[in-house]
Amino acid sequence: MDPAGAVNWAVIGTGAIAHRFCSDIRYSRQGRIKAVASRDPARARAFAAGLGVGVTGDALDAVLADPAVHAVYVASPTAQHRDHALAAIAAGKAVLVEKPLAASAAEAEEIAEAAACAGVLCMEALWMRFTPGVRAAKRLVDAGRIGPLRGLDAHLSYPNAFDPRSRLFDPAQGGGAHLDLGVYPLSLAFHLLGTPGEVSHGVVRAPNGVPMAGGLVLTYREAVATLGFGFLAEGRNDAVVTGASGRLGLQAPFLCPPSLSIRTASPAVRPDAESAPPLPAVRHGLRGALPALKALTRPLRERRVPTLYEGTGLQYQVDHFAELLAAGETDSPVMPMRQSIEVLRVLDRFALSDRP
Ligand SMILES: NC(=O)c1ccc[n+]([C@@H]2O[C@H](COP(=O)([O-])OP(=O)(O)OC[C@H]3O[C@@H](n4cnc5c(N)ncnc54)[C@H](OP(=O)(O)O)[C@@H]3O)[C@@H](O)[C@H]2O)c1
């Protein structure tokens, strides 16, 4: 970073998330784009030209050799993260690698080892952990506001028809719903509940074998996380954290929730559909309808906490990264490399090579 604390970023790749990152960075405190790298330097220059005066575009080697670049954002497909992260580390640059950190735990370990040897800061761009809503949820959980955790229910699904050429399905680019979406609910479980004791899974595969949808059950000593992801349909995409004395909801999309709902008292009424009276309650007077009325007003007793954000929310990780750089840190306490690797170890079970 420069003496004023500004961090000059180079972006590797000119695709969808690279555009989003370059747009959101205006909301960061210290970040600014300095350079763009592409397999095609002309494409890098065209991208850079759209970002304003002083942003350069070039081939990867030239960009990494630029002493004005303080940090590198790897925005290439997942299967290319390893090579691009290792190149940035070899050039002595701090590196923020798009999620998931790599296409496998073994590749992620290579990145972590290289960064540790070089003494450079490296972090998975798991932006979810830095959004105002997820930060607030983590604070509430850690403060014990819903008591000891008992469960997490988190699913993330968006419809994507099978297309073998798309990054989402191409194994050569790290395709598969587990790597594209599954990493989010899984990383949330690790963030809130820690490392599970046991893990079981189910998967639906696309015609070429890559995961199209899947589910995970993580078992902890006193909690269970049920997680889902997929390209088959649009899911609810919210998350619910249950504790022994309350419940916390992260409104969809739970990655960057616009609000949380928190309910801390146990419900006085347990509506039970099976034993509900078959006749309209009003026939026996309001007294008979009290349980139903209480159930009806239950949502009103939930407290909503707005957790608004600017842009699409990628800038919060950029601010965190700048703080780590300023402090001379090489690993993030919020998104430690060790946990990125542990998450990938779970996701490895969906890999093509592990098919029965
Ligand atoms: N944080 C989020 O919300 C979010 C959202 C979407 C995706 N992602 C992650 O971001 C990464 C990129 O996703 P994307 O949707 O931006 O993909 P994309 O639109 O396909 O862009 C990837 C870019 O990487 C570059 N690239 C370098 N080597 C490549 C190769 N061998 N094959 C193809 N492209 C290559 C390409 O730019 P050049 O041709 O100019 O080199 C391409 O435009 C993935 O790891 C994904 O998981 C994160």
List, in order of start, the domains of the chain with CATH numbers: 7-127+313-333 (3.40.50.720), 132-308 (3.30.360.10)
> In Å, what is the CA distance from 328 to each residue of 30, 119, 121, 323, 331?
16, 10, 8, 9, 9
pLDDT score for 268? 45
pLDDT score for 234? 97
Query: Which of these is catalytic: 34, 99, 138, 294?
Result: 99
In the reported structure, the alpha carbon of residue 77 is separated from the centroid of ligand 1 by a whole-number distance in angstroms of: 4
* Substitution candidate for ligand 1 out of 167, 169, 187, 256 with most atoms within 8 A of CB: 167
Residue 266 gets which letter from DSSP? P
Q: Please, are residues 210 and 176 in contact by the beta-carbon 8 Å criterion?
A: yes
Strands in 94-98's sheet, in edge-to-edge order, are 56-58, 31-37, 7-12, 71-74, 94-98, 122-125
State if pTM tops 0.85.
yes
Ligand 1 atom nearest 174 alpha carbon: 45
pLDDT score for 109? 98
* Substitution candidate for ligand 1 out of 11, 12, 14, 17 with most atoms within 8 A of CB: 17
pLDDT score for 224? 98
Burial level of 203, CB count in 10 A (0-12/13-18/19+)? buried
In the reported structure, the alpha carbon of residue 32 is separated from the centroid of ligand 1 by a whole-number distance in angstroms of: 20
What is the DSSP secondary-structure string of 79-102? GGHHHHHHHHHHTT-EEEEESSSS
Ligand 1 atom nearest 173 alpha carbon: 32
**For residue 57, which of 70, 46, 68, 67 has the smallest C-alpha distance?**
46
CB half-sphere exposure, 266, CA atoms < 13 A: 6
| Beta strand segments in 21-135, E | 31-37, 56-58, 71-74, 94-98, 122-125
pLDDT score for 269? 42
Per-residue pLDDT 10s for the chain (356 aa) are 787 889 999 999 999 999 999 999 999 999 999 999 999 999 999 999 999 999 999 999 999 999 999 999 999 999 999 999 999 999 999 999 999 999 999 999 999 999 999 999 999 999 999 999 999 999 999 999 999 999 999 999 999 999 999 999 999 999 999 999 999 999 999 999 999 999 999 999 999 999 999 999 999 999 999 999 999 999 999 999 999 999 999 999 999 999 999 998 755 445 455 555 555 556 677 777 787 777 777 655 789 999 999 999 999 999 999 999 999 999 999 999 999 999 999 999 999 764 44
In the reported structure, the alpha carbon of residue 18 is separated from the centroid of ligand 1 by a whole-number distance in angstroms of: 7
> Tokens for 229?
């992801």
CB half-sphere exposure, 13, CA atoms < 13 A: 23
Q: Please, are residues 220 and 196 in contact by the beta-carbon 8 Å criterion?
A: yes
Is 99 an annotated catalytic residue?
A: yes
CA distance 63 to 118: 19
